[in-house]
Amino acid sequence: MSDTQPLSATFQTYMENPLLWPILEVLKQQPSGWKVHTLAAHLSELELVPVLDDAPEKDLFKRNFLIMNALYQLQEILYPQKWLQVEAMDIVLMPMFRNANHVIDPDEPLRDYYTNWTHYEASEGEVKRLLNEFWTRYRRFVGGETVSHLNRHEALRLFDLPSDATSFEIRKTWRKLALRWHPDRDNGDAEQFRILCAAWNVLRQEY
């Protein structure tokens, strides 16, 4: 992939932000009291967020962008079982109640901005390398590298998908399984989650 290749619509739709899962872990342990900068600091303490730019102001912007992008994606994943309030100064994970304000608005300006990777100011190749680095850090964090190497056929079998599964089907299944087996979820399973992480690591590289 060329470093100068622009961000395609397909790439933006299917590229998984690996900060989804560590953020879910953090929110499960402490559902409220978070701001973007405190969440960023906590993830840095866990060594899940590297320095993203030599210029401090750009590094701060890129960290905020990646976290907000992950929060908006996570909001969609958890909905409607839970409501994730995404506000820069007040991030809260709460049970879903019948509240007229707890509805995902696809036209929300901030959502539109932070889910559009072109605003990260990087080529597709650069973004893909960045997310690959994040994903490698997270696999180490959960112990996913202890799982033996899988091929595509084995990975699809773990996802219970046919060999001709589409990118959309693969990503949808990954999110469903990850949410089910995440170790911080009720009845989650850390070992099963690590295996699924290894399978997703194989399949995501096809995008």
φ, ψ for residue 153 (rounded to 5)?
-60, -45
pLDDT band at 6; cut points 50, 70, 90: low
pLDDT for the residue 1: 38
| pLDDT average, residue stretch 176-188 | 83
pLDDT band at 10; cut points 50, 70, 90: low
Give percent above pLDDT 90 in the chain: 32
Rounded Cα–Cα distance for residues 185 and 201 (Å): 21
pLDDT for the residue 2: 41
pLDDT for the residue 205: 74
Mean pLDDT rounded to a whole number for the chain? 84
Domains annotated for the chain, with CATH where assigned, are: 10-142 (no CATH), 147-206 (1.10.287.110)
